[in-house]
């Protein structure tokens, strides 16, 4: 959208000509610099599509030490949804999936709605799709697809969102679609 400032008098020159773009004044210098930084890395990762390969997360094997209330909540979720995220994910990812599953469970109970089962599910803006196991456990979709425009964004450890998702999606029969393939949906 181009902005044209109309001069107050006919003799005054317009402050902004059609086609000129100025950064909105509502953004600070640090926000503008971050935007340029992220734009640079987005364009670079989109062109390179480089990664260290499929990210391998070491399964925790068991739930780490938790307080009594939180441990009881995890046990309830494990029984209700027949899941053990710690057998497939690291401790942190497993706990995040239990938290996500708990949020979904509490929300649906508060709404008094039945959980939908089956069907095709698309999650837009899925990042590296770390929460796919929780979505799969809660909704039991026949197909689960994460859509991420920046699927080739490279993390500081050299892995991309795509490679991070590949291992997770393999375990729960899900997939990630990146920006270039978005039109195929």
| pLDDT score at 184 | 33
Are 51 and 109 members of one domain?
A: no
Are 145 and 109 members of one domain?
A: no
Domain count, the chain: 2
| pLDDT score at 77 | 96
Q: How many CB atoms lie within 10 A of CB 149?
A: 16
Specify if 32 maps to a domain. yes
Are 172 and 109 members of one domain?
A: no
Burial state string for 39-61 with b = 16 or more CB within 10 A and e = fewer than 16: eeeeeebbeeeebeeebebebbe
Q: What is the 8-class DSSP label of residue 32?
A: H
Specify if 146 maps to a domain. yes
Are 90 and 120 members of one domain?
A: no
Q: Tokens in use for 75?
A: 């046990």
| pLDDT score at 97 | 94
| pLDDT score at 185 | 33
| pLDDT score at 68 | 83
Q: Which residues pair with 154 in a beta bridge?
A: 160
pTM score, whole prediction:
0.68
Are 66 and 39 members of one domain?
A: no
Are 142 and 183 members of one domain?
A: yes
| pLDDT score at 163 | 75
Give Cα 77 to chain centroid, integer Å.
23
Specify if 144 maps to a domain. yes
Are 32 and 120 members of one domain?
A: yes
Are 181 and 129 members of one domain?
A: yes
Specify if 19 maps to a domain. no
| pLDDT score at 108 | 93
The widest CA-to-CA distance across the chain, in whole angstroms, is 77
Q: Which domain holds residue 130?
A: 28-55+116-185
Look at residues 115, 145, 162 and tell me which one is the last residue of a structural domain: 115
Q: How many CB atoms lie within 10 A of CB 131?
A: 22
Q: How many CB atoms lie within 10 A of CB 179?
A: 14
| pLDDT score at 18 | 52
Are 121 and 110 members of one domain?
A: no
Are 120 and 41 members of one domain?
A: yes
Q: Tokens in use for 4?
A: 């044209």
Instruction: Give the pLDDT means over successive 10-residue stretches in the chain (185 positions).
Output: 46 51 71 87 71 77 84 94 92 93 94 88 83 92 81 75 69 59 36
CB 121 within 8 A of CB 141: yes
d(C-alpha 110, C-alpha 91), whole Å: 28
Kindly give, in sequence order, each residue whose CB lies less than 8 Å from that of residue 13, ignoring residues fewer than 6 positions away: 7
| pLDDT score at 49 | 67
CB 148 within 8 A of CB 179: yes
Specify if 81 maps to a domain. yes
């Amino acid at each position: 959208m181009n902005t044209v400032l109309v001069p107050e008098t006919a003799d005054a020159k317009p402050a902004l000509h059609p086609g000129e773009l100025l950064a909105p004044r509502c953004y600070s210098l640090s926000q503008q610099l971050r935007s340029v930084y992220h734009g640079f890395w987005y364009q670079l990762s989109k062109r390179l599509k480089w990664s260290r390969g499929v990210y391998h997360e070491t399964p925790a094997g068991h739930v780490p030490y938790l307080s009594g209330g939180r441990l009881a909540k995890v046990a309830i979720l494990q029984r209700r949804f027949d899941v053990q995220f710690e057998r497939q994910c690291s401790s942190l990812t497993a706990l995040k999936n239990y938290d996500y599953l708990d949020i979904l469970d509490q929300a649906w109970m508060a709404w008094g709605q039945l959980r939908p089962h089956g069907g095709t599910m698309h999650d837009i803006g899925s990042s590296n799709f770390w929460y796919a196991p929780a979505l799969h456990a809660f909704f039991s979709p026949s197909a689960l697809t994460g859509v991420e425009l920046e699927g080739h964004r490279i993390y500081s450890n050299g892995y991309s969102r795509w490679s991070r998702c590949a291992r997770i999606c393999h375990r729960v029969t899900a997939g990630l679609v990146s920006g270039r393939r978005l039109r195929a949906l």
